[in-house]
Amino acid sequence: MGRNWILVTGAAGFIGAALTEKLLKNGENVIGIDNLNSYYDLSLKYSRLKHIRDLSSKNNSGKFEFHEFSIEEKLLLEKSVINKNISTIVHLAAQAGVRYSIENPEIYFQSNLVAFGNILELARKIEVENFIFASSSSVYGGNKNIPFDEKQIVDFPVSLYAATKKSNEVLAHSYSHLYKIPTTGLRFFTVYGPFGRPDMAPMIFVKNILEQKSIKVFNNGEMLRDFTFIDDVVEGTFRCCYKPATIDKENNQNSLAPFRVFNIGNGKPIKLMRFIELIENKLNQNAKKEFLPIQKGDVVQTFANTNALKEWINYSPSTSIEEGVDKFINWYKEYYSIT
C-alpha cells in the first residue's frame, strides 16, 4: 500500500493551518499536531482549525485528523502516527519570535530543540520519504552581503531563536546524512497575510492604528524587511512536499546527504516606513509613531535571494507588497468585524 498521510506539526499555527488547507484541497490526508499554546490569542488558532475541519468535511477534500499535545512528549508523538503510513513530515511547530526569546529562553530549548530531536527520531523510525522543516531568515543574523543566499556562512546568530533554527539545520543534516532521510529546510522571510500572527508587526500595526494607539517603530524606522505573503510561502512549501531533497553535488561538495536548504522570501525588501505608509493608506488613518532604538536580537535588514528555490521547484514568491497588504487588511476587517 502506498503511503497516504502527511504529518503537519504546528497545524493550528499561521503557516501550518494555511499549508494544511492547501494539502487537503489537493486531496492529501493530513495528520495535524499542535499543542495550542497561548503564546498569542488562542481564538485565532481555534478559528484556523475550524476552517480546516469545515474544509475537510467537503467532497474531494483529504481527511484531517488532529492531535493536541506538545512534541516534547515523545510517547504521544509516536502514538499519534501508529497504523498510519506517512510519506512526508512538515515540521512547522516551534516557538517563534525573536524578541520573545530574549525574555523566555527556556521555551525555545524545549519547543525548538527537544521537540526537534523527537521529530528527527520519528522521521528516522518511520523511514519517512520526505522531511521538511521550518528554518528562518533570522539565521542570516547581521550578514552584510545582500541579498542573502543559502551559500553564505550563517554561524553568527544574534538571537536565541535564530540559534535554535540554525541548530535545527545542522541536526537535520546529520540525520539526513546518517539515515539517508531526504530533508529540506525552509528559511521563511517575515510572513504576513490573513490569519497572521498577532505578535508580528503587520498585525500589531493594523490593530493599533485602528484603535488609535501608537505603534513602536524600531531603529527609528531604518529597517528593511523582505515581507512575504502567506500564499507564496504555502505554495513554495507545498511544492517541496512533492520533491524530496537529493544530494546537492553541484553546490555542496562537503555534503553527501540528501539535504537542501532554501530561502522562501519575496526578494523585494520594503522599508519599514513604506510598509507603515501602505497600511495607513489602506486604512485611511495616520499612525501615531513612537520612534525607538533597535531591539536586542533584531536585524536591520532581510533580503532573500530565491534563485535556488526557483531552480528547484520552478517557483518563487511574487505577490507585491501592495496586493498583499490589501488582502491582509481586507481579511483583518472582515475577521474582526470592522466597518
Ligand X SMILES: NC(=O)c1ccc[n+]([C@@H]2O[C@H](COP(=O)([O-])OP(=O)(O)OC[C@H]3O[C@@H](n4cnc5c(N)ncnc54)[C@H](O)[C@@H]3O)[C@@H](O)[C@H]2O)c1
Select the residue interacting with ligand X from 6, 86, 134, 276 (CB under 6 A).
134
Residue 141 in the binding site for ligand X (CB under 6 A): no
Angle between helices 14-25 and 42-56 (to 10 degrees): 0
Q: Is 242 a catalytic residue?
A: no
Question: Least separation, in Å, of the C-beta of 247 and ligand X?
Answer: 25
Q: Of 113 and 126, which has the nearer Cβ to ligand X?
A: 113
Q: Of 33 and 245, which has the nearer Cβ to ligand X?
A: 33
User: Where does this chain touch ligand X (CB under 6 A) — which range of 90-98, 152-160, 242-250, 298-306?
Assistant: 90-98
Please, which of residues 1-30 interact with ligand X by CB under 6 A?
Answer: 10, 12-16
Question: Least separation, in Å, of the C-beta of 318 and ligand X?
Answer: 17
8 A C-beta contact, residue 1 and residue 85:
yes
Q: Which three cell numbers stand for residue 43?
A: 481564538
Select the residue interacting with ligand X from 20, 29, 95, 130 (CB under 6 A).
95
Q: Shortest Cβ contact with ligand X: which residue?
A: 13
Select the residue interacting with ligand X from 30, 49, 81, 191 (CB under 6 A).
191
Whole-number Å distance between alpha carbons of 113 and 39: 18
Residue 34 in the binding site for ligand X (CB under 6 A): yes
CA distances from 265 to 1, 138, 149 (A): 37, 12, 11
Select the residue interacting with ligand X from 96, 139, 217, 308 (CB under 6 A).
96
Residue 93 in the binding site for ligand X (CB under 6 A): yes
User: Which residue among the candidates 40, 108, 140, 161 is catalytic per the annotation?
Assistant: 161
Alpha helices in the chain (DSSP H): 14-25, 42-56, 74-80, 100-103, 105-108, 115-125, 160-179, 201-210, 230-241, 272-283, 307-313, 321-335
Question: Least separation, in Å, of the C-beta of 45 and ligand X?
Answer: 5
Residue 190 in the binding site for ligand X (CB under 6 A): yes
Whole-number Å distance between alpha carbons of 44 and 324: 20
Question: Least separation, in Å, of the C-beta of 326 and ligand X?
Answer: 19
Inter-residue long-range contacts of 74-81, CB under 8 Å, 24+ positions, other chains counted: 74/118, 74/121, 77/33, 77/118, 77/119, 77/122, 78/122, 78/125, 80/31, 80/33, 81/5, 81/7, 81/31, 81/122, 81/126
Question: Least separation, in Å, of the C-beta of 66 and ligand X?
Answer: 12
8 A C-beta contact, residue 128 and residue 86:
yes
Integer Rg of the chain from CA:
19
Select the residue interacting with ligand X from 7, 28, 45, 258 (CB under 6 A).
45
Q: Of 72 and 326, which has the nearer Cβ to ligand X?
A: 72
Q: Which three cell numbers stand for residue 325?
A: 497588504
Residues noted as catalytic: 161
- Residues lying near ligand X in the complex (CB under 6 A): 10, 12-16, 33-37, 45, 70-72, 92-96, 111, 115, 134, 136, 188, 190-191, 197
